[in-house]
Structures are given as structure tokens and as C-alpha cells.
Amino acid sequence: MESLFLAFQVYGLAIVVSMAVALMIKGIVSVLARVKAPRQEIPESPASGREVTSIPEAHLAAIAAAAYTATGAHHILHVEDRSRGMAWTFEGRVAHHASHAVPRRPAR
């Protein structure tokens, strides 16, 4: 009987602590919602419908030189439009998620 009473005390304490934490988080979120930070402008993406022109080779060379100066002896291996590489990204994600898949048992 004492162990049952102790279990109820522990569960009750856990409920009280969880409610206190939930109320504290709700308070923090409401305070942060009132104090909104200014939003930064997001540049237009190629998917927005605007035409994107290619980068001139001189600009690309200047960017590569600046990156080399800032990071050291790293090499830029490939530069291309973001939308062209989406198939590789998708296939990589599928392979990654498939590695976590639970094997299905055959029907009996």
C-alpha cells in the first residue's frame, strides 16, 4: 500500500513540474512574440519566376579568389544552378531515410 501511495506522489510531482515548465515556456514565447526582431530581406530565388542571369567569369574568379583568401587552400570543385542539383539531393534523402526503415515482415 505504501508503494502505491509513493507512486501517486511521484506521478503527481511529475505532473506539477511539467505544468510549471509548460507555463514558463508559454510565457517566454509570448514575451518573445511581443518583442519581434526586424525581419531580414530574403533575396529572390530562381523559383520566384524572375530570370536569373549567369555570373560573368570575371566575377566568379573574384569570388573564388576571395574564398581562397578567407578560407585557405580549399578548392571550389563545382559551381552550378541550385535547381539542377535537386535530383541528387532527393536521391540522397531517399537513401538516408530508407536506411532507417523498419523491415516489413512477409504476410503469413
**What integer pLDDT is reported at residue 36 of this predicted model?**
72
**What per-residue confidence (pLDDT) applies to 32?**
84
CA dist., res. 5 & res. 11, Å (int):
10
Q: Which residues contact 99 (CB under 8 A, 6 or more apart)?
A: none
Handedness of CA 45, 48, 54, 58 (dihedral sign): negative
Which stretches of the chain score pLDDT less than 50? Answer: none
Alpha helix (H) ranges present in the chain?
2-34, 57-71, 86-99
The helix or strand, by DSSP H or E, that contains position 49, with its residue range, turns out to be none
The model's pTM: 0.34
